[in-house]
Amino acid sequence: MKPCNQCGKCCINYSDGGLSASKEEISWWEIFRPEISRYVANNKIWMDPDTGQQLTRCPWLTDLPENKYGCSIYHDRPDDCRYYPVEIAQMVKDECEMLELKDITDHKSAQHKLDQIMSDSRPPAGY
């Protein structure tokens, strides 16, 4: 498995209603990051603060040079973002560029490697 290359596929694939935030995260944003909480409506995230409609792209996704992406709220992002990717099958579906051919052919080994990589961000899959 390769390191993340900031291709942005995960952010693009899930930022149009495919993500959620806990009530605790939303409450924390309301107190400490009101600029983030502006994009929450009825406990749904990444909503247009003016129209209340679901945005089609995360408002915190930033374009970087060479078709790369960054997150302008990286340290305060919701757990849905923090925990991604969870399973190899999800990465395959999303065409994640971290995957190598051996990861696709040996999901069990790849899942173990992914769990090691993500150990500082989330509990391993299946827990």
Rg (CA), the chain: 16
Domain segments of the chain: what residues?
9-117
Model confidence pLDDT, tens digit, residues 14-46: 988 889 999 999 999 999 999 999 999 999 999
Could you tell me which of 29, 14, 11 has the C-alpha nearest to residue 41?
29
Residue 72 is encoded by which pair of tokens? 């302008």
Contacts of 111 (CB under 8 A, 6+ apart): 87, 88, 125
Token pair listed for 121: 């961000």
* pLDDT for 126 beyond 60: no
- pTM of the prediction? 0.83
Closest CA to 71 of 17, 12, 121: 12
The pLDDT value given to residue 121: 76
Given a cut of 90, is residue 55 above it in pLDDT?
A: yes
**Residue with the two structure tokens 């990444």:** 46
